[in-house]
Homo-oligomer: A and B are copies of this chain.
Amino acid sequence: MVTKQFSGSPEDADLRRADSLAREIFSDVANKWALLIIEAMGEHTLRFSELRNEIEGISHKMLTQNLRMLERNGLVDRTVHPTVPPRVEYALTEAGRGLRRTVDSMCDWTHQYLGDIEDSRRRFDT
Contacts and interface: CB of A to CB of B under 8 A. Distances in A.
Interface string A81-104: 000000000000001001101100
A4 interface: yes
A3 B54 contact: yes
Given A2-B54, A99-B106, A117 B35 contact: no
A36 interface: yes
Closest 6 CB pairs of A and B: A74-B120, A72-B124, A4-B56, A102-B106, A102-B105, A95-B113
Contacts of A18: 111, 114
A59 interface: no
Interface in A14-38: 18, 21-23, 25-27, 29-32, 35-36
